[in-house]
Amino acid sequence: HRTVALLVAAGTGSRAGGDIPKQFRVVGGKAVIAHAVDALAAHEDIDAIHLVIGAGQEAQVRALLGGRVVAGMTQGADSRRGSVRAGLEAIAAAGGVDRVLIHDAARPFLPGAVVNRLLAALDDAQGAIPVLPVADTLVRGMGGAMGDGVARDDLFRVQTPQVFRFDTILAAHRGWDESREATDDAQIMKGWGHDVTLVAGDEGLEKLTYKQDFARAEARLASART
């Protein structure tokens, strides 16, 4: 197998506040994107890492990565879906890849065990994604009033990396109706008619989205050092 990680980092991260996109902020003395690259590079089954970044960000990203090696950098798009598509097309142009892990640069901590579970699942499936159960009670909100409750036993929170057979996810992206948005690639794969296997995710893999997520990530790194 030749397995490439596609790391998407072209978002503006507006929900996290601050002037710089969340994936470029520093936690524990290292940029979030550098944490993500290190985690992917540390896995023996990942052969190369391809980045998707915003327009004009190459010098900034190279500086944040220090000497870390990536196979390529592609300019992203206005939507996450468009950014992933651009990266997949760049990887396709280079050729020779049969599995891809699509991962958010805003998730700095990736346990190798999650990658093991995902790649093992791909032996019998076209796609596999890491998920976690929902611990809180869920309700619908009706203009400030509580609506009906929602059964949570068959609901899951979806994380990345999401792994796919390369040719299949490329075809699914190419066939996707561009006017529809999709917050992840598994929806696109499912929409293309392929079942996607669920494997256990990891709490540590949470995406940094809001300001308080960064404080939690700092604390996590500090406690890991002691």
Does 83 bind ligand C5P (CB under 6 A)? Our answer is yes
Answer for which of 112, 131, 209, 218 binds ligand C5P (CB under 6 A) is 209
Does 130 bind ligand C5P (CB under 6 A)? Our answer is no
Provide DSSP, 101-164: EEEETT-----HHHHHHHHHHGGGSSEEEEEEE--S-EEEEETTEEEEEE--TT-EEE-S-EEE
Cβ(127)–Cβ(189) below 8 Å: yes
Does 8 bind ligand C5P (CB under 6 A)? Our answer is yes
Closer CB to ligand C5P, residue 82 or residue 111? 82
Does 80 bind ligand C5P (CB under 6 A)? Our answer is yes
The tokens for 5 are: 């990680």
Does 10 bind ligand C5P (CB under 6 A)? Our answer is yes
Q: From residue 223, give the alpha-carbon distance in Å to each of 33, 36, 112, 216.
A: 21, 19, 20, 11
* Residue 102, beta-bridge partner list: 6, 162
Fill in the per-residue mask, 33 to 72: x = in contact with ligand C5P (CB under 6 A), - = not in contact: -------------------x--------------------
Does 207 bind ligand C5P (CB under 6 A)? Our answer is yes
- Return the amino acid letter for 189: M
Which residues sit at the interface with ligand C5P, rule CB under 6 A? Answer: 8-11, 23, 52, 76-80, 83, 104-106, 207, 209
